[in-house]
Structures are given as structure tokens and as C-alpha cells.
Amino acid sequence: MKIELQSLRLQNFKGAKDLTVSLSERTAIRGMNASGKTRIFDAFTWLLFGKDSDDRKDFNVKCLDADNNPVHKVDTSVTGVLYVDGRKIKLERIYKEKWVKKRGEETAEFTGHETAYFVNEVPHQQK
């Protein structure tokens, strides 16, 4: 089985507001320290396994503001385009905030997160 990663698109993922990385059979990712090399690897491992490159499930995928607080009310997503034995497969993982407005209240309350998964734009379960 031959698997090739063609591209990764990061949206609001660990400081990358909208970044698309196109890959070929041989792609070198180089840069200064803290320039985002590990972010790309973390995005790929999070897309496939829900973990970062250090095998941690509990790591912050959300963008942070100037005070290092998570930016709210934006979805975090990673989309990968792969070719498996020559067949194109698009995988997408979206991390969403849940906001609930209780009856009689004026403002919505943050109640947690949920993750949505898509294969070729069709919703799927995590399995």
C-alpha cells in the first residue's frame, strides 16, 4: 500500500490562522526555531490520531491571543489530502466550541468542545 500526503490545511491551529502546506514526494520543512515546523507535524498527527508529536492527547490546538488566552468562537481544523494507492482521500478534523443560550438568558454560555470528523466531506465517527 502506498500512501502519499499531498497537502495539509491548518485553520486556527496553534497560531496558524490559515496555512496550507503543499507537499511532494520529497519535501523538506526547514526554518528557524519557533517558526512552525513542529506545528505542521502536530497538525498531521492530530488529524490522524488526536495527539501531538509527543504523543499527548491533552495539548492546546487553539489559537491564543496576545495574553496567551484561547481565542473563542472560532473553529480549529486540519484538512489533509492523501493519495492511497493512487486514490484521493480528504480527511478533516474540526474542533468546535459549544455555546448554549439558556431560556431567558441574554448571553450564551461556553459548555465545552466537540470534534467533528469528515472523510471526503462525509461526516464520520471517530472510529
State the Cα–Cα distance between residues 63 and 40, nearest whole angstrom. Answer: 14
Residue 105, C-alpha cell as written in the block? 438568558
Query: Cα–Cα distances in Å, from 34 out to 30, 40, 56?
Result: 11, 12, 19
State residue 49's pLDDT score: 94
* 127 pLDDT more than 80: no
State residue 100's pLDDT score: 92
Count other C-beta atoms under 10 Å from residue 46's C-beta. 22
State the Cα–Cα distance between residues 33 and 17, nearest whole angstrom. Answer: 19
pLDDT band at 104 (very low <50, low <70, confident <90, very high): confident
* 20 pLDDT more than 80: yes
* 93 pLDDT more than 90: yes
The single-letter code of the amino acid at 55 is: D
Count other C-beta atoms under 10 Å from residue 50's C-beta. 14
State the Cα–Cα distance between residues 84 and 66, nearest whole angstrom. Answer: 40
Secondary element (H or E) of residue 46: helix 37-49
Mean pLDDT of the region 29-46: 89
pLDDT band at 13 (very low <50, low <70, confident <90, very high): very high
pLDDT, averaged across the chain: 91
